[in-house]
Structure formats: structure tokens, C-alpha cells
Amino acid sequence: TKLKIFHQLLPVGANVKCLSDAGFFINVKDIAGVNHAAAFFNDVVRTHGSANNLPSSCTSKLPAGMCLFPQNEVKQIQTPLFILNAAYDSWQVRNILVPGASDPSWRSCKHDINQCSGKQLKTLQGFRDHFLEALEAQGDSSTRGLFINSCFAHCQSEIQEIWFAPGSPMLGNKRIATAVGDWFYGRSPFPEDGLPLPL
């Protein structure tokens, strides 16, 4: 059987676009200076024998595990893509920046940023800076939309209270659902990111 592109499985003229919610994982060292996420992704590729199924345009330049990081793949995605992500993605903070029991003094902070010390907040700001740099490295694209807020969250499209409700996060006076809808239907582009947390 011939492998079909997803768009070919749909009726002619279908409007095919992708929404990535909390999927822009970045390659950054953890608080101990260890590249924990890269080692994990390399193990995933080795365990599942995934190297041959990853784009050769990436694996010809980087180790296969690095090709699981969106920052190394988004440029090559031709399908219009909307990236919805928190710059302080709580899953990435808990599992990439401060994995496992790496530093007991982070236990309260990584679960509730209101419990973070000033030094820990600066570390979180550094994570946000790396996140935004990885996004900026993707370059501009007329088919790409962004909604990058400063929430401490992971996944923001799955519940109404975050997606589209009176108290939902807003950027440029738009809630997430409105920004995605405007982008999807071509009413207006939405490349926005929020302000950093106050220190």
C-alpha cells in the first residue's frame, strides 16, 4: 500500500490545518546543567526503532532523538500550523527543567509558581527566554499562527474555562478560541506572545 498524506484522505477542497496545543517542547538543560530531555528522546528513538521513520532532512543533520523536538522540525512542516503554548509550560517545567527529584528545594515551586523564590523565578524567566528563542528561530510564515501566553499551564484547548470563557487567557484582546478561529478561517493572523512574569 502506498502511504497517503493526511490531506489526501479528505474530500477535495477540505481546509486542512493543524493546532498544536502544548506540543512545542524545547531542548534545554535542566537546573543541574544536564540535557535530560535530549537523553530521554534519544532513548525513545532507540527503544522504538524510530530513526528510519523520522524525516531524513533532520536525521541527516542531527541525532535522531533531536528530531523529536519541534524546534528542529516545525520549519519543515508545510501544513498550516497554529502553536498554542504557555511559555511557562508546566509539564516542561516539571519534567524538562526540573525533572524528578533533581532539587528538593524546587518541589513547591514547580507545582505552584506562587511558591517560587526570586532566584527560581529568574530561572523560569530563562526557560521562557529559551522557549521564545526556539520559536523565533522558526522564522516567519504566513501560514503559521501563535498564541504564546505567560500562564503556568499545559494544554489550554481542552476545557471551556481556558479555551473560551469570560475569564479565559487573552492576548491582543482575544481569547484562545477567537485567535485560533480567526487564523483558521483566514480572518486575521495571530502571532502573539504574552509578557513575562513579574519578578
pLDDT band at 33 (very low <50, low <70, confident <90, very high): very high
Query: Distance between CA 24 and CA 170 in Å, rounded?
Result: 20
pLDDT given at position 76 = 82
Task: Name the residue type at position 27.
Answer: N
pLDDT given at position 149 = 93
Cβ pair 51, 63 in contact under 8 A: no
| Residue 49 counted as domain residue | yes
Percent of the chain's residues with pLDDT above 70? 95
Q: What is the pLDDT of residues 60-90, one digit of tens each?
A: 999 999 999 999 988 888 889 999 999 999 9
> Residue 100 pLDDT more than 50?
yes
> Residue 5 pLDDT more than 70?
no
The pLDDT of 33-58, averaged and rounded, is 93
| Residue 140 counted as domain residue | yes
| Residue 116 counted as domain residue | yes
Average pLDDT of the chain to the nearest whole number: 90
Cβ pair 191, 80 in contact under 8 A: no
Residue 15 or residue 191, greater confidence: 15
pLDDT given at position 23 = 95
> Residue 4 pLDDT more than 70?
no
DSSP structural state of residue 41: H
Percent of the chain's residues with pLDDT above 90? 70
pLDDT given at position 1 = 35
- Contacts of residue 31, defined as CB under 8 A and 6 or more positions apart, other chains included, come to 97, 98, 102, 103, 106, 123
The pLDDT of 2-23, averaged and rounded, is 81
Number of domains in the chain: 1
Q: Which domain holds residue 75?
A: 1-8+16-185
Is 40 exposed, middle or buried (CB count within 10 Å of its CB: 0-12, 13-18, 19+)? Answer: middle
| Residue 195 counted as domain residue | no
Kindly report the three-state secondary structure assignment for every residue of 143-175: CEEEEEECCCCCCCCCCHHHHCCCCCCEECCEE
Alpha helix (H) ranges present in 34-185? 36-48, 56-59, 90-92, 118-136, 160-163, 176-184
pLDDT band at 198 (very low <50, low <70, confident <90, very high): low
The pLDDT of 132-160, averaged and rounded, is 92
pLDDT band at 97 (very low <50, low <70, confident <90, very high): very high
- Contacts of residue 79, defined as CB under 8 A and 6 or more positions apart, other chains included, come to 6, 7, 16, 17, 18
